Amino acid sequence: MMQGIMFQSHDFAFSHAPLTNEDKICAVAISIVSSPGFNEIWNMISTCMPSEIYERISANRSLSTQEFLTEIYSAKPREAAEEIMDWSAAKSMRVLSYWDDEYPPLLREIERPPLVLYARGDMETDHAIAVVGTRKADPRSAAHARRIAGDLASAGFTIVSGMAVGIDRAAHLGALDADGRTIGVLANGIDIAYPSVNRDLHRRIASSPGSGLISEYPPGIRGGKWAFSRRNRIISGICAGTVVVKAGKQSGALITARHAVEQNREVFACTGNSFDEEYAGCHELIRSGAVLVSRTEDIINELSRPFGSSGASGTERSGSGAKGAVSDPSPEEDPYEEGSLESRILLLVSKQDYEIDSVIRQVGASPAEVNEAIVELELCGRITRSGNIIARL
């Protein structure tokens, strides 16, 4: 068992009048609004309550619910929000908005954070650290992740991961086996245990003290491939640092690391055999400035420093983060055929940043096709996504 450490508190000033029931409904409503109303929201969230924001953005236009939600919920955001609140209550979920005191303070600091989180169980996000990696974990790397997570949990950290098979599952189990805290961030509604092989883990986390499940997606929603990248920004955003245990060159864990860099958080990486391609992503992170992990104490020593000298404070980093190749695309030409969906998206965003809903309309493809292409472009380092906005790197 690792010896516990003392943490310096991280204060975040955010005060407002208590949320009314109308505010809670309107918070959900504005979180599911489709373009064009969505852009205006970000200019108001720090100064206006949800009911006031919704009144303003709906004053002179007819708002619609994001398309992928309308298979289950109303196409009118206000009605859909009431349906979501009722369903959440029926399934014993808490609905936490950006304006709630329980909303994770570090997540509130990122660019375009999720305006609403759906939670089950506890959600102790103080001193949280992400432990992530490939779904294709071998026994050695899974054991490594389990040990790191267990050591960190024993030292007082909350372990955050993405509820996938492989490294994610090992990290969650490591924390639970150490009687520690863990948070599973899902890419679908938290009433859905996905993948199904993690159904046991889903139940165990939800019932363990200090642990819980969260998602930005309402109950009943099954996220596609596109949802995993959006989930990853929450994983890193909740945490002071992200540990990548094992990742190849195109592992989704690298998107989490990239988000961590953009959010000014610490990045750590483990290393395997120098010639092992399944660790190539970790090796690239280390070359780009991530903290190399040779033992768990390397992480603890880095993150137990005062927040003002670490990435989580919002101050300028001192070069210990994984900047450089973590975020920058290679200079070679885009390897996409002319006229392909990927090349059309790249051409579109080369001129200006775009909302994803606008991209869907411009390129004439389905939401699922566009979102899968966006994930592919993110993995290849060609674009970056911030909330519902994509930009070319």
128-313 and 341-392 agree in CATH topology: no
Whether the predicted pLDDT of 103 surpasses 80: yes
Average pLDDT over residues 44-64: 90
Q: What is the pLDDT of residue 273?
A: 76
Name the pLDDT band for 335 (thresholds 50, 70, 90).
low
CB 107 within 8 A of CB 114: yes
- CA 309, chain centre distance (Å): 23
Give the residue, 323 or 162, on which the prediction is more confident.
162
**27-41, 241-255, 342-356, 375-389: range with lowest mean pLDDT:** 375-389
Cα–Cα dist 298/67, whole Å: 45
Chosen CATH of 128-313 out of 3.40.120.10, 3.10.20.30, 3.40.50.450, 3.40.50.1370: 3.40.50.450
Average pLDDT over residues 18-27: 93
- CA 350, chain centre distance (Å): 25
Q: What is the pLDDT of residue 314?
A: 36
Q: What is the pLDDT of residue 393?
A: 72
- Helix H segments across the chain? 21-31, 38-41, 50-57, 77-90, 105-108, 139-154, 167-177, 199-207, 226-238, 253-262, 280-287, 296-303, 341-349, 356-363, 367-379
Give the residue, 386 or 193, on which the prediction is more confident.
193
Mean pLDDT of the chain: 84
Q: What is the pLDDT of residue 7?
A: 39
Cα–Cα dist 235/183, whole Å: 9
Q: Say which residue the tokens 């298979």 belong to.
A: 71
Domain boundaries, the chain: 21-90, 128-313, 341-392
Whether the predicted pLDDT of 307 surpasses 50: no
Whether the predicted pLDDT of 361 surpasses 70: yes
147: which residues sit within 8 A by CB, 6+ positions away?
174, 296
Residue 33 forms beta bridges with which residues? 65
Q: What is the pLDDT of residue 332?
A: 42
Phi, psi of 279 (to 5 degrees): -110, 10
Percent of the chain with pLDDT over 70: 85
Name the pLDDT band for 313 (thresholds 50, 70, 90).
very low
Whether the predicted pLDDT of 96 surpasses 70: yes
- Give the architecture-level CATH label for domain 341-392: Orthogonal Bundle (1.10)
Whether the predicted pLDDT of 37 surpasses 70: no
CB 132 within 8 A of CB 164: no
Whether the predicted pLDDT of 72 surpasses 60: yes
Percent of the chain with pLDDT over 90: 56
Whether the predicted pLDDT of 183 surpasses 90: yes
Average pLDDT over residues 16-27: 88
Q: What is the pLDDT of residue 172?
A: 97
Cα–Cα dist 314/301, whole Å: 19
Q: What is the pLDDT of residue 315?
A: 33
Average pLDDT over residues 2-14: 41
Name the pLDDT band for 35 (thresholds 50, 70, 90).
low
Picking from 10, 6, 5, the residue whose alpha carbon sits closest to that of residue 309 is: 10
Question: How do residues 265-278 score in pLDDT, each as one tens digit?
Answer: 999 999 887 778 89
Q: What is the pLDDT of residue 329?
A: 35
Cα–Cα dist 212/29, whole Å: 24
N-to-C CA span, the chain = 43
Cα–Cα dist 71/287, whole Å: 45
Whether the predicted pLDDT of 360 surpasses 80: yes
Whether the predicted pLDDT of 380 surpasses 90: no
Q: What is the pLDDT of residue 358?
A: 85
The length of the chain is 393
Whether the predicted pLDDT of 285 surpasses 80: yes
Give the residue, 161 or 387, on which the prediction is more confident.
161
Question: How do residues 132-154 score in pLDDT, each as one tens digit?
Answer: 999 999 999 999 999 999 999 99
Average pLDDT over residues 56-71: 89
